[in-house]
Amino acid sequence: MYLGPFASPARMVQLSEASITHVLNVGEAPSVLATGRDAIREVAWHPIVDLERIPFETAITCLETLHRMVCVPESRVYVHCVAGWNRSPTVVWLYLVACGIEKATARKLIERNAPDAVPCHSKLIDDTLVEAVRRHGKAHFLPHRRPKAIAGI
């Protein structure tokens, strides 16, 4: 999984060089990339309002989409919002937690590769959402079909 800012046509070169196959956009602006271009097989858009608590249904939809993308053999998933600082890192953090990774470890994994990211932003999540996501992941994502894909963020 990869994190970053909005996946614009100008960023397509970088995405191609990273062999990105799937794109999950959680920003408020619709995606401008299309499938069939280079190696991108799927582009999904599930908008999240910045700095507002993520509704449970939206979180689950994002996580289900992300899980499906990550589980495709040899997939490389790019998750983005607008700046790549709050929403996309928080969605990836929630996914890692849903996959059984401890909260602090998940945060470190994200911050190691995206130092400007703010995973688990306090305005986007609360303890109730995190616990619901953890339960959902335990019931639906584990055992993970591609554990190396989530360990290598």
In a domain, 150, yes or no: no
Alpha helices in 33-101 (DSSP H): 56-70, 87-98
147 part of a folded domain: no
**pLDDT at residue 38 in the model:** 64
Question: Has residue 101 been placed in a domain?
Answer: yes
At 56-112, the pLDDT tens digits run 999 999 999 999 999 999 999 999 999 989 999 999 999 999 999 999 999 999 999
The 10s digit of each residue's pLDDT in 24-62 is 999 999 988 877 766 899 999 999 999 999 999 999 999
CATH of the domain at 136: 3.90.190.10
Predicted pLDDT of residue 12: 87
- Give the position of tokens 């990105």: 20
Domain membership flag for residue 148: no
Provide CB contacts within 8 A for 153, sequence distance 6+: 1, 2, 3, 92, 96, 109, 110, 113
Task: List the domain range (segments joined by +) for residue 21.
Answer: 2-141
Overall domain count for the chain: 1
Q: Is 42 contained in some domain? A: yes
For tokens 């190691």, what's the residue? Answer: 112
The verdict on residue 49 lying in a domain is yes
Instruction: Flag whether 151 is in a domain.
Output: no
Structure tokens at 100: 């059984």
pTM of the shown model:
0.95
Q: Is residue 92 part of a domain?
A: yes
At 16, which helix (H) or strand (E)? helix 12-17
